[in-house]
Amino acid sequence: MQKLSLTQSLNQKLSPQQIQFIKLLQIPTAELETRIEEELEVNPALEEGMEVKEDEMDSVPEEEPASDKEEEVNVEDYLQEDDFSGYKMQGDGNYLEDDKEMPIPMATTLNDQLMSQLGFIGLDERQTIIGKQLIGSIEADGYIRRELEAIINDLAFSQNIEIDLEELEEILHMIQTFDPPGIAARNLQECLLVQLERKKEHSKEVQTAINILTHCFNEFTKKHYQKIIKKLDLESEKELKEGIQLITKLNPKPGGISSGLVKTQYRIPDFIIENEDGSLVVTLNSRNAPELRISRSYSEMMDSYNKSDKKDKKLKETVTFVKQKLDSAKWFIDAIKQRQQTLLNTMTAIMEYQYDFFLEGEESNLRPMILKDIAEKIHMDISTVSRVANSKSVQTEFGVIPLKFFFSEGISTQSGEEVSSREVKHILKTLIEMEDKRKPLSDDKLEKLLKGKGYMIARRTVAKYREQLAIPVARLRKEL
């Protein structure tokens, strides 16, 4: 038997204004200017410039007639727009893109370079089509990872060209003679061999390197050097070392930066910390604090309506539009101010927490600090601090540093103190840099060395920090 019933429940739901504020808070300085320009375009009630207070209005010179200056705002034109809505009416508008690209200069792509070289090797029309198909299959790093059988099928279906594997490989080998060396290889082994084969002089070192890659590639990747010496029957360890040194100078990614247009990204600091006679002062980047105000003409429209008899239907429609734009403009100005205050509060709390670091720039002075520490200090939610930390940076005397750099977990010392994991990572990196590369330190040995320095740390934590530093295991750090 079906039954209808009413239930009451409390749910948290973000208002459109809160959603827009979150979006404003998380965007970096470089994008804030664009966001403000977008708002100025869609809202005629919003203007750039300092806000004029009411008691200062009398001192402001009267504007010249519209005929002598710019044309007055025509409200009727705006009423023809499809969208009258302000922030109080709209939902989560898609104002921000997660990945906006900086303007980039024109450049020759890797594909263009290869196509140009294809025209110089004297292929007939059919072979040229096959060559273009192969070049089109080259990925950004310079490799062809698509199976040659699949390329044969592509040629049959899209170009109506029948070709066997032997002929396709023949044209592929021609392309592998192009610059940059190693291009169009199907795997790392082939890429390195192609580069070695192009050496003008096939010296003993080159031949040793070719033999290592051809017959002992698996042992080479795992650094099993003694197995290589035995398998290739090399005369000495020196002979092996010379071959390996030659291999390590080759380019494993021949596509490199030529694979496409290069994007130059600039990090614009959101904050500036200066040391003024031993005292630190934090300020917002001026681009984070734009001057915005409500349009005086729109305010006067509302004043005129409030003094009228309010019976004209057309006037009511006009005023509804004006009110929506005024509300949106007021909210946007308040949101920008709130953004500025939130950013300053967060950065000030971080600066106070990491005061010793900002004075001297020594990584060892970093204190353990998590998002919760700052959130409690400024009485805000952890998610708010996270949004600020993930996308902002600060200019110091030691360079521009992302805020997330200052957040790290704590490690206990023998004396019971808490030190930043960044300090431990720094020491770990130093130990590995100073190790004997013939006998690199295992994670167990690194753990004992760190404990000897007073850091109470587990082996699995050593392994985690080593991986975060992108340092391979001991076996792969071994050198001859």
182 within domain boundaries:
yes
**Domain check: are 426 and 465 in the same one?**
yes
pLDDT at position 74 is 44
Please give the average per-residue pLDDT across 340-349, as a whole number.
Answer: 92
Please give the average per-residue pLDDT across 193-215, as a whole number.
Answer: 86
pLDDT at position 76 is 41
pLDDT tens-digit readout, 219-276: 888 888 888 888 888 888 888 888 888 888 888 888 874 444 444 445 678 899 998 8
Q: Which helix (H) or strand (E) holds 340?
A: helix 313-353
| Spatial distance between the Cα atoms of 252 and 139, rounded to a whole number of angstroms | 13
Q: Which long-range contacts (CB under 8 A, 24 or more apart) does 358-365 make?
A: 358/273, 358/275, 358/280, 358/396, 359/275, 359/278, 359/280, 361/396, 361/397, 361/398, 363/422, 363/423, 363/426, 364/423, 364/426
Residue 163 three-state SS: coil
Looking at per-residue pLDDT, the higher value among 416 and 179 belongs to 179
Please give the average per-residue pLDDT across 357-361, as a whole number.
Answer: 88
DSSP state of 288: G
Burial zone of 459 (CB within 10 Å; 0-12 exposed, 13-18 middle, 19+ buried): middle
Q: Which long-range contacts (CB under 8 A, 24 or more apart) does 316-324 make?
A: 317/79, 318/75, 318/76, 318/79, 320/84, 321/75, 321/78, 321/79, 321/84, 322/45, 322/75, 322/298, 324/84, 324/85, 324/86, 324/88, 324/89
**Domain check: are 123 and 207 in the same one?**
yes
- Residue ending a domain, among 406, 422, 446, is 406
Q: Please determine, for residue 62, whether its predicted confidence score (pLDDT) is greater than 50.
A: no
345 within domain boundaries:
yes
- Residue ending a domain, among 381, 406, 431, is 406
From the list 353, 344, 360, 377, the residue with the least C-alpha distance to 270 is: 344
**Domain check: are 288 and 400 in the same one?**
yes
| Spatial distance between the Cα atoms of 3 and 186, rounded to a whole number of angstroms | 66
Task: Answer whether 174's CB lies under 8 Å from 208's CB.
Answer: no
As a whole-number percent, the residues of the chain with pLDDT over 90 amount to 18
69 within domain boundaries:
no
**Domain check: are 210 and 298 in the same one?**
no
Give Rg (Cα) of the chain: 33
DSSP state of 143: B
Residue 362 three-state SS: coil
**Domain check: are 417 and 399 in the same one?**
no
Residue 465 three-state SS: helix
**Domain check: are 308 and 246 in the same one?**
no
From the list 229, 228, 231, 230, the residue with the least C-alpha distance to 219 is: 228
* b/e 80-98 (16+ beta carbons within 10 angstroms → b): eeeeeebbeeeeeeeeeee
For 406, the token pair is: 């200052």
How far is residue 286 from each of residues 268, 272, 280, measured CA to CA in Å?
Answer: 11, 10, 18
Q: Please determine, for residue 102, whether its predicted confidence score (pLDDT) is greater than 60.
A: no
From the list 300, 301, 299, 296, the residue with the least C-alpha distance to 319 is: 301
* b/e 102-135 (16+ beta carbons within 10 angstroms → b): eeeeeeeebeebbeebbeeeebeeebbbbbbbbb
Structural domain range at position 127: 110-259
pLDDT at position 48 is 82
Q: Which helix (H) or strand (E) holds 328?
A: helix 313-353
Average pLDDT, the chain: 78
Structural domains of the chain, count: 3
| Spatial distance between the Cα atoms of 83 and 79, rounded to a whole number of angstroms | 9
**Domain check: are 465 and 332 in the same one?**
no
Please give the average per-residue pLDDT across 10-16, as a whole number.
Answer: 62
DSSP-derived pairing of the beta strands 271-276 and 393-396: parallel
∠ at Cα 373 (371, 376), nearest 5°? 105
Strand partners, 89: none
Instruction: Please give the order of strands across the beta sheet that includes 393-396.
Output: 279-284, 271-276, 393-396, 399-402
| Spatial distance between the Cα atoms of 458 and 153, rounded to a whole number of angstroms | 54
pLDDT confidence tier of residue 347, bands split at 50, 70 and 90: very high
| Spatial distance between the Cα atoms of 444 and 177, rounded to a whole number of angstroms | 47
Q: Please determine, for residue 413, whether its predicted confidence score (pLDDT) is greater than 90.
A: no
Q: Please determine, for residue 10, whether its predicted confidence score (pLDDT) is greater than 70.
A: no
**Domain check: are 218 and 343 in the same one?**
no
37 within domain boundaries:
no
191 within domain boundaries:
yes
Q: Please determine, for residue 400, whether its predicted confidence score (pLDDT) is greater than 80.
A: yes
Phi–psi pair at 273, nearest 5 degrees: -110, 125
pLDDT tens-digit readout, 36-46: 888 888 888 88
**Domain check: are 124 and 171 in the same one?**
yes
User: How many CB atoms neighbour CB 269 within 10 A?
Assistant: 21
**Domain check: are 121 and 215 in the same one?**
yes
| Spatial distance between the Cα atoms of 147 and 137, rounded to a whole number of angstroms | 10
Total-model pTM: 0.51
331 within domain boundaries:
yes
75 within domain boundaries:
no
**Domain check: are 184 and 282 in the same one?**
no
- Residue ending a domain, among 218, 239, 259, is 259
Give the list of residues 6+ apart from residue 188 with CB closer than 8 angstroms, or none: 252
DSSP alpha helix (H) spans, 80-184: 110-118, 125-136, 148-154, 165-175
DSSP state string for 38-78: HHHHH-TTEEESPPPPGGGGGGSPPPPPTTTSSPPP-HHHH
**Domain check: are 114 and 216 in the same one?**
yes
Q: Please determine, for residue 136, whether its predicted confidence score (pLDDT) is greater than 50.
A: yes
438 within domain boundaries:
yes
For 290, the token pair is: 């734009």
| Spatial distance between the Cα atoms of 25 and 29, rounded to a whole number of angstroms | 10
